Amino acid sequence: MNKANEANFDGLVGPTHNYSGLSFGNVASLNNVDQPSNPKEAAKQGLTKMKALADMGFIQGVLAPHERPHIPSLRRLGFTGSDAKVLEQAAKQAPKILAAASSASCMWTANAATVSPSTDTQDGRIHFTPANLVNKFHRSIEHETTGAILAATFNNPEFFAHHPALPSVDHFGDEGAANHTRFCPEYGEQGIEFFVYGMAAFDASMPRPSQFPARHTLEASQAVARLHGLSENKTVYAQQNPQVIDAGVFHNDVIAVGNRNAHFYHQEAFLNTEKMQQDILSAWGNSAEKFHFIEVPSALVSVEDCVKSYLFNSQLLSHGANDMTIVVPGECQNIPAVWNYLNSLVAGNGPINAVKVYDLKQSMSNGGGPACLRLRVVLNSAEHAAVNPHCLMNDTLYMTLNQWVDKHYRDRLIEKDLADPLLLMESRTALDELTQIMQLGSVYDFQKG
């Protein structure tokens, strides 16, 4: 067995972070529409969490934001002239389209891609497939830049394989690692890749939600598994409960989270919980390591409280065997049922025995908690050494990025500010400097209109 560790690569919040209410099905996003945002505070809150995990001894990386407003998308939609004219026309004729082209949603890198470790893949490399995020226009324009940033971060073809996004149609709607997790006795052993989907696109007889969209399809998950060369007997698919999607659980990581030998989920998370458990145990096999299903009963924590607190949009971090920390947002402390449950959980005899709380209010107000902000990548020592070192968190990078944020970010932004040509110039200037800091090459060049 190769010794390996799970790294977290968090999205750095971009300069145009705002609350435009673009994500139908995401309760927090809709509830905070038109509120002023604070991009500077948002970026610093994310950096604080990244640095804290690095200080705890975990491998922590940073994924750069995308250039916004995205002028090429606006030009494709018929807005013409100089960049300033494009912004002016879009603001006058289609302000919500401008808001979509200005979203900083790439900060939620759980949606950036699906990642399979080298121990799980046929060719022994780590595989990345950027998510097409086709269900939301503002996210569907991300995957090209996401792919470029991932390729600049994991840039050695001996260790890393990069695939293009799946076809951008609803039948292959792919929301990335927000609907994917991995179970394993140890990170360096072959694991179970667990895909959760909202509907089967080519089978109308299967259940699907009626109020909010099922963003991720079975067919997308199956395609990614084929691209990554996964073993059939170590790949498990489960359908999300359509009723919880209609309750605001737009991704599986809002109602469940897994790590190593633990699956932490709500009683109502899956359409068929018993089958999910049986399929995982069958794939787990005869491992000496016990597998833990930690099911939270509705009687103790309601689905509504899960959505309000983002209890399950948490990070499970392993320090060793049966020694896990759960990282949760501050909102969990504000709901007694959730906080009481967490305290009883870590006091029990299960694998989760510590809780860490972080203030991520700027992200949470747009519907993204700790799990949304990170993309998990299992790395052995050789793969770790092959990662772009300028993207790995340490004391120097933390200080440099905080200074960079102070220099380039605004501390207040509302939707009408998105039409300001100065904001675009501020974003471009900031990203040009960031390219040098993180040694990203030309990942932004093709975005400029």
CB 153 within 8 A of CB 114: no
pLDDT at res. 342: 97
Residue 433 in this model has a pLDDT that exceeds 80: yes
User: Which domains are delineated in the chain?
Assistant: 4-447 (3.75.10.20)
Global confidence as pTM: 0.95
- 135-154 pLDDT, tens digit each: 999 999 999 999 999 999 99
Distance in angstroms (rounded) separating the CA atoms of residues 261 and 298: 23
- 185-198 pLDDT, tens digit each: 999 999 999 999 99
pLDDT at res. 28: 46
- 323-380 pLDDT, tens digit each: 899 999 999 999 999 999 999 999 998 999 999 999 888 888 767 889 989 999 999 9
- 41-81 pLDDT, tens digit each: 999 999 999 999 999 999 999 999 999 999 999 999 999 99
Distance in angstroms (rounded) separating the CA atoms of residues 426 and 15: 8
The encoded tokens of residue 431 equal 């990203």
- 93-124 pLDDT, tens digit each: 999 999 999 999 999 999 999 999 999 999 99
The encoded tokens of residue 61 equal 């990386």
Distance in angstroms (rounded) separating the CA atoms of residues 398 and 61: 11
Mean per-residue pLDDT of the chain: 93
Distance in angstroms (rounded) separating the CA atoms of residues 8 and 362: 20
- 389-427 pLDDT, tens digit each: 999 999 999 999 999 999 999 999 998 999 999 999 999
pLDDT at res. 2: 76
Cβ-count burial 186-202 (b if 16+ within 10 Å, e if not): bbbbbbbbbbbbbbbbe
Taking CA atoms, 435 is separated from 11, 153, 441, in Å, by: 15, 12, 6
**What average pLDDT score do residues 184-211 get?**
95
pLDDT at res. 29: 47
Residue 160 in this model has a pLDDT that exceeds 80: yes
Residue 134 in this model has a pLDDT that exceeds 50: yes
pLDDT at res. 125: 98
Distance in angstroms (rounded) separating the CA atoms of residues 324 and 260: 10
pLDDT at res. 26: 47
Residue 258 in this model has a pLDDT that exceeds 70: yes
- 19-45 pLDDT, tens digit each: 875 654 444 445 556 688 999 999 999
Backbone angles phi, psi at 298, to 5 degrees: -60, -30
The confidence band for 289, taking pLDDT boundaries of 50, 70 and 90, is confident
Residues marked as catalytic: 175, 251, 372
Q: What percent of the chain has pLDDT over 90?
A: 86
The confidence band for 1, taking pLDDT boundaries of 50, 70 and 90, is low
Residue 274 in this model has a pLDDT that exceeds 60: yes
Judge residue 384's burial from the number of C-beta atoms within 10 Å of its C-beta, 0-12 exposed, 13-18 middle, 19 or more buried: middle
pLDDT at res. 252: 93
pLDDT at res. 360: 86
Distance in angstroms (rounded) separating the CA atoms of residues 138 and 140: 6
